[in-house]
Amino acid sequence: MEAPLMHLALVGTPNSGKTSLFNALTGSRQKVANYPGVTVERKEGSFVTPLGRQVSLVDLPGTYSLRGRSPDEEITRDMVLGRTPGEAVPDLVLCVADATNLRLTIRLLLELKSTGRPLMLVLNMFDIATRRGVTVDVARLSEALGMPVVTSIAVRKGGTADLLRQTDTIAAQAPAPLAQNLWQPLTIAQLRATQREADRIIAATVSLPEKPDTWTARIDAVVLHPVAGLAILAVILFVMFQAVFAWAQPLMELLSSGFAALGQLVHDILPAGLLQSFLQNGVISGVGSVIVFLPQIIIIFLFILLLEDFGYMARAAFLMDRIMGGAGLHGRAFIPLLSSFACAIPGIMATRVIDNRRDRLTTILIAPLMTCSARIPVYTLIISAFIPAKQIWGWVSLQGLVMFGLYAAGIASALGVSFLIKFFMWRDYAPAPFMLELPDYKMPRARSIAIGVYTRAKMFLQRAGTTIFSMMVLIWFLASFPLPPAGAQDPAINYSFAAMIGKAMEPVLAPVGFNWQIAVALIPGMAAREVAVAALGTVYAIEGGKEAAEQIGQVLATKWSLATALSLLAWYIFAPQCASTLAVIRRETGSSKWMAITFAYMFALAYAASLATYNIAVALGAG
Amino acid sequence: MTERNGARPQLPLGLAKRGYSGVIQHLAAGDAGSSLSAIELESRLIELGFVEGARVEVLHEGIVGRDPIAVRVENVTIAVRRREAMAIIVA
């Protein structure tokens, strides 16, 4: 008879290595969803113990206590207490601790004990602890805490063997009668008492080295230096954007020529007509022109995950706290805003780490101004078509520099908007506190990073395959029908629905230098920004035949003035964000009001910026 | 430096300079001028390990107004703004 599925829950303080342990135990067998009604990410995975027991493992949000200060922390508390409707009560709660840093976890563990749940302490990163001279008397610690304690090295093969064995042992035992839940929110006196008790237990079972981690101290001496630290942060961001632009190029060209060849193949095999046009111009060139940006998205996520795992993100928040504070932002907003460079959606969801409602709202409102990866296709296309590929000062690529400037403009406008929000809406409120653990530096592990990048890339491709694909089909339809009358002289697209819509919008967009083809592309660009590129491709490919489809950029360079191109770049710094971002803002703020405000202010900024850019460029002779 | 020294003057950690090291004497969350309530601020400080008797050292300072500060509390490093650190009385 098969043993029933065993439910395990992972809890721990932030930076305890919970995620790397979760990745080590479950590998790629992970499901990411949301808890019903809230936007807290629910990560579940599964594995099989050495004795063949099926285990389902839930990774709960990191927390220092069970007080439940934020939606994330409430989930952790309710899951441990078995109060979440529709969720299995965990058979065993694994409390993960960084073995080099037990103090805060042991206090949490003592609080967890009062819930009466079966507990096990996992001393993770045990190899690093040993190397640093931390020795833990595991047997005595287990006795003092009254629960099994295992050591683990999540990042090493076989590093979780001890944990798996102990899980089997616990699974084999007759389930202990559930102890009563005696947990209540702790008073300050109780909090203090648990921390004292934790310190007492640690003093009796753990011996710490005389000197703290020397590497962390040495790196921090430079990285947290008021001047050098900021310079390093600027260099890291600059390298990141150069990399996104330069390293991805060969791969992107490869993908691009691959899709072109595929389109040509379809063209040669099928007879000329609607089906051929649909597959070649609608499907292959449309979806292809978006998938081409996969290398850039992988690179940006690679950087973010590496910095996160290394322990640098908390330092960046420390360095930026007061600087961002000048613009009315909280230091903790740095991480969500940095994630917004990849995509505003995870960025807005990451604002949950900000527990003050006003600070969080400000961050959500400006997150879409950070240049998300979906704008990269638009920027890349226009930059490579209009900005000469030359080096200045011998080593800086001019195209990379323009890209950097666009990112900088996004950041500057975000800070400006935040300042205005703080000044006009919330000037009477004292700033919320900033308290953040700066974890010791850890060498990022390839496997954990790979799983993270893989998950993100998969999400991007799924979007390309669904939202973007259906938009492309719609655009192709609008650009192809109605068919031109027999004997028509103009290109076929001039008779289509797309042309009608574009021309209707032209009077509004003419002052900013946009022609009707751009107007046509802006509409699907609302569904997802990167679609605008594909849409331009479709519009011009259908207009100019297959030669034009091969190089959208070359076509644009002949059709647009430099002023129009610059105006479109300016537009996209502020571009009213994609529909999914708006949907997430509504969900996270719980009201349509903030969604409408975001849309309106970004649209106004985009129009104003384009208007100014276009007119200045024309005045300077670029019209 | 681990011994409690009665002769040393007490001061809020929020006023300590880089390189200062001392021992926490008590928490005075009501006096800090934080936007948090005294109870909430005190709870959070304790959860991050700021309890009486803990050794602290100011490791780093930010560039604007020497704020925030990075404080070593026993063997954990915590970043905190000076405003909240005013609640931590050290000597």
3-state class (DSSP) for residue A45: strand
Instruction: For residue A538, give Cα distances in angstroms to A211, A321, A431, A445, A476.
Output: 63, 45, 49, 42, 7
Provide the shortest C-alpha distance from residue A257 to chain B (in Å). Answer: 49
Domain architecture of chain A: domains with CATH: 6-207 (3.40.50.300), 247-292+446-560 (no CATH)
Cα separation, B85 vs B91, in Å, equals 14
Task: Round to the nearest angstrom and report the end-to-end CA distance of chain A.
Answer: 79
Token readout for A154 is 């999540």
Of A244, A585, A286, A229, nearest to A406 by C-alpha is A244
Q: Which of A238-242, A556-560, B12-16, B80-84 has the lowest mean pLDDT?
A: A238-242
pLDDT of residue B1: 47
Instruction: Locate the chain A residue with the closest alpha carbon to B45.
Output: A435
Cα separation, A128 vs A376, in Å, equals 39
- Beta strands at B11-12 and A435-437: parallel, antiparallel or unpaired: unpaired
Residues A166-193: pLDDT tens digits? 988 888 886 666 677 778 888 899 999 9
- Partner residue facing A435 (CB), from B59, B74, B78: B78
Per-residue DSSP letters for A250-313? Answer: HHHHHHHHHHHHHHHHHHHHSPSSHHHHIIIIIIIHHHHHHHTTHHHHHHHHHHHHHHHHHTHH
- Partner residue facing A103 (CB), from B49, B62, B68: B49
Instruction: Locate the chain B residue with the closest alpha carbon to A197.
Output: B51
A494 touches chain B (CB under 8 A): no
Per-residue DSSP letters for A378-408? Answer: HHHHHHHHHS---EETTTEEHHHHHHHHHHH
Question: Is A318–B51 a contact, with Cβ atoms under 8 angstroms apart?
Answer: no
Q: Is the dihedral of CA B43, B45, B46, B48 positive or negative?
A: positive
Question: Which of A 219-248 lie inside 8 A of B, CB atoms?
Answer: 220, 224-227, 229-230
Residues A323-359: pLDDT tens digits? 888 888 888 788 788 778 777 877 887 787 677 778 8
Q: Is the pLDDT of residue A363 over 80?
A: yes
Residues A503-543: pLDDT tens digits? 888 888 889 999 888 887 887 676 667 667 777 777 776 65
Provide the shortest C-alpha distance from residue A421 to chain B (in Å). Answer: 19
Q: Are the CB atoms for A351 and A367 separated by under 8 Å?
A: yes
- Partner residue facing A195 (CB), from B41, B49, B84: B49
Residues A422-441: pLDDT tens digits? 888 777 766 677 888 999 89
Query: Measured between beta carbons, which residues in chain B are less than 8 angstroms from residue A429?
Result: 35
Question: Is A437–B72 a contact, with Cβ atoms under 8 angstroms apart?
Answer: no
pLDDT of residue A267: 84
- Partner residue facing A438 (CB), from B36, B67, B70: B70
Mutate which: A109, A435, A436, A441, vs B, most B CBs within 10 A: A435
Instruction: Evaluate whether ipTM surpasses 0.85.
Output: yes
Q: Per-residue confidence at A487, pLDDT binned at 50, 70, 90?
A: confident
- Tell me which residues of chain B have a C-beta less than 8 Å from any C-beta of chain A: 33-36, 39, 41-49, 51-52, 54, 59-65, 67-68, 70, 72, 74-81, 83-84
Domain architecture of chain B: domains with CATH: 11-90 (2.30.30.90)
Provide the shortest C-alpha distance from residue B31 to chain A (in Å). Answer: 14
Cα separation, A153 vs A166, in Å, equals 15
Provide the shortest C-alpha distance from residue B53 to chain A (in Å). Answer: 10
Cα separation, A72 vs A60, in Å, equals 8
A447: amino acid identity, one letter: R
Taking phi over 0 as left and psi of -120 to 50 as alpha, with beta for the rest, A27 belongs to left
Instruction: Locate the chain B residue with the closest alpha carbon to A192.
Output: B46
Provide the shortest C-alpha distance from residue A100 to chain B (in Å). Answer: 9
Q: How many Cα atoms sit within 13 Å of A23 on the Cβ side?
A: 20
A321 touches chain B (CB under 8 A): yes
Residues B24-78: pLDDT tens digits? 999 998 877 777 888 889 999 999 999 999 999 999 998 888 989 999 998 889 9
Question: Which of A 23-82 lie inside 8 A of B, CB atoms?
Answer: 64-65, 67
Task: Round to the nearest angstrom and report the end-to-end CA distance of chain B.
Answer: 10
Residues A284-297: pLDDT tens digits? 876 776 677 788 77
Token readout for A232 is 């390093």
Q: Per-residue confidence at A548, pLDDT binned at 50, 70, 90?
A: very low
A314 touches chain B (CB under 8 A): yes
Query: DSSP code of A156?
Result: S
A358 touches chain B (CB under 8 A): no
pLDDT of residue A489: 67
pLDDT of residue A544: 53
Q: Is the pLDDT of residue B88 over 90?
A: yes
Question: Is B46–A195 a contact, with Cβ atoms under 8 angstroms apart?
Answer: yes
pLDDT of residue A378: 82
3-state class (DSSP) for residue A151: strand
Cα separation, A182 vs A357, in Å, equals 31
Mean pLDDT score of chain A, rounded to an integer? 83
Q: Are the CB atoms for A356 and A369 separated by under 8 Å?
A: no
Provide the shortest C-alpha distance from residue A224 to chain B (in Å). Answer: 7
Mutate which: A214, A429, A438, A440, vs B, most B CBs within 10 A: A438
Question: Is A64–B47 a contact, with Cβ atoms under 8 angstroms apart?
Answer: yes
A104 touches chain B (CB under 8 A): yes
- Partner residue facing A435 (CB), from B35, B62, B84: B84
Question: Is A104–B42 a contact, with Cβ atoms under 8 angstroms apart?
Answer: no
Question: Is A230–B75 a contact, with Cβ atoms under 8 angstroms apart?
Answer: no
Q: Is the pLDDT of residue A417 over 70?
A: yes
> CB neighbours of A156 closer than 8 A, spacing ≥ 6?
A127
Provide the shortest C-alpha distance from residue A434 to chain B (in Å). Answer: 6
Q: How many residues make up chain B in this entry?
A: 91
pLDDT of residue A177: 63
Provide the shortest C-alpha distance from residue A76 to chain B (in Å). Answer: 16
3-state class (DSSP) for residue A210: coil
